[in-house]
Amino acid sequence: MIDAFLGDMAADDWRTYTPVLRAKASEWKALAALTPGVRQRTAPIIEFVPDWTQPGASTTGRTRRAPQTAAEYVQRFLDSCSTATPHATRSFVYFGLAPEDPNWSSMDVWSEFEGRVPAQTRIVPLVNLQAVGSSGGLARVTRSRGEVGIRLTSSDVGPTLAIRVTDALRTLGVAATSAYLILDLKDTPGSVSHGQLRAAVGNADTFASLVVLAGVFPQDLTHYQQGITSEPRIEWQTWWHEHVAASAGERQLGFGDYTTQCAHYRPSPEVPGSVSLRYTNDDAILVFRGRQSNGNSGLGHEQMHGHCRLLVARSDYDGAAFSWGDHRFHCWTNPSNGTGNAMQWRTAPLVHHITHAVVQLQDQVGASATARAWARTQMAPRCS
């Protein structure tokens, strides 16, 4: 596995990768499929998705597996966060997609967090700067656990930021050395420079980490032609340029992105999408787009075999031993191994993307070539 290549973890905090993952089935499965070494080098932001609706009456009489109340929905989210944060790893939990009022569906979500998440689990509350004082439950959680993440926007970066952050930490009862500042630039990765953020926060070396987060991938694939399209990873290119331009002795900032998804959340459409695949290389996300699955037209899930054959033949395919996702792509080239399903087509690219970003952050020149050369010499696990 890739952990053998990665070796021991470096002490540099900026090498820890911070992806945003929405709390959906594919994302939970992706976190579970990461190798231990990759997971230790990853501090995901797990975003609560406030799309729960009251379920209708059961027509079968069977016990429902889905949550039956809003409280159960929040509890399942928090339990899943705990499961996805094993020993020696860290996750951030973010409720900001729900209204800023913490009483979502008549619940104080941070009070639910307080009673549900084991104290020994490194699940760090992440809150928007302007929402710091909105919940007594949040203050109790941060004071008792001693850590917090503060999510900033480009409009927060200015002359008053250092004072605002100091006041926020005082309210939350957390020392700066246990605070993680995350600047979320959404789809404008060049709108605030690393130098501007360092200057605005004051003593940048005081904080546990400083991360710059962005993502430019579009909302959906409707504007792509069928075939292979390359979507530049401008967020990575911008971050790496800033990283190498930093002067000696300056605090290096961490990297985060929205993986292979859009920075602006919206609920998934109910209509099925095309049979498509996303694959990350050093500079871009490749989109292999097919048609909507329709067995009557002869274009069903079997399109995935063609996507994967094209992928594994490319020089930038990282190899079946690189990640669980890469192994699935390798297996799906053979019809005897099936085609996978829509959930797996989301999970596999996520696992590959996270692993690829981790590898780039460990590499001296921010590239995956050395890891790819290693992975391609390893024996591929058997397909099952």
Judge if 41 and 117 occupy the same domain.
Answer: yes
Question: Cβ–Cβ contacts within 10 Å for residue 183, how many?
Answer: 25
Determine the pLDDT at residue 272. 61
Identify whether 213 is part of a domain.
yes
Q: Could you tell me which of 254, 252, 209 has the C-alpha nearest to residue 235? A: 254
- Is the separation of the CB atoms in 378 and 319 below 8 Å? yes
Lowest-pLDDT range, 30-44, 55-69, 163-177?
55-69
Kindly state whether residues 379 and 263 are assigned to the same domain. Answer: no
2 lies in some domain: no
Residue 64 lies in a domain: no
Question: Are both 177 and 83 inside the same structural domain?
Answer: yes
Distance CA(368)–CA(362), nearest Å, equals 9
Range of the domain at 305: 273-384
Q: Which helix (H) or strand (E) holds 219?
A: none
User: Would you say residue 284 has pLDDT above 60?
Assistant: yes
282 part of a folded domain: yes
Are 243 and 124 contained in the same domain?
yes
Residues 166 and 314 in one domain: no
Q: Is residue 58 part of a domain?
A: no
User: What are the tens digits of pLDDT across the range 126-159?
Assistant: 999 999 988 889 999 999 999 999 999 999 999 9
Q: Are residues 355 and 241 in the same domain?
A: no
Do 224 and 292 sit in the same domain of this protein?
Answer: no
Question: Rounded CA gap, 345 and 328, in Å?
Answer: 9
What's the number of CA atoms in the CB half-sphere (13 Å) around residue 130? 8
The pLDDT assigned to 60 comes to: 54
What's the confidence (pLDDT) of residue 40? 97
Q: Does 131 share its domain with 249?
A: yes
Final residue in a domain of this structure, among 229, 244, 268? 268
Q: Bridge-partner residues for 285, per DSSP? A: 231, 280
Residue-wise pLDDT for 325-377, tens only, equals: 999 999 999 999 999 998 999 999 999 999 999 999 999 999 999 999 999 99
Is the domain of 19 the same as that of 75? yes
Residues 92 and 113 in one domain: yes
pLDDT at residue number 63 = 60
Q: How far apart are CA 196 and CA 47, in angstroms?
A: 27
In a domain, 130, yes or no: yes
Contact between 319 and 311 under an 8 Å Cβ cutoff? The reply is no
Round to whole Å and give the CA distance between 350 and 255: 16
Percent of the chain exceeding pLDDT 90 equals 79
Q: How many CB atoms lie within 10 A of CB 12?
A: 11
Q: Read off the pTM.
A: 0.94
Residues 355 and 206 both lie in one domain? no
**pLDDT value of residue 298:** 52
Q: Which of 213, 234, 268 is the last residue of a domain?
A: 268
C-alpha–C-alpha distance, residues 361 and 346, integer Å? 23
The number of folded domains in the chain is 2
Q: Which of 235, 268, 301 is the last residue of a domain?
A: 268
Strand duo 284-292 + 274-280: pairing: antiparallel
Task: Calculate what percentage of the chain has a pLDDT beyond 70.
Answer: 94
Indicate whether 138 belongs to any domain.
yes
**233 & 311 share domain:** no
CA 109 to the chain's CA centroid: 21
Q: Which CATH number does the domain housing residue 163 bear? A: 3.20.20
Beta bridge partners of 284: 232
pLDDT at 98 (0 to 100): 87
Average pLDDT, the chain: 92
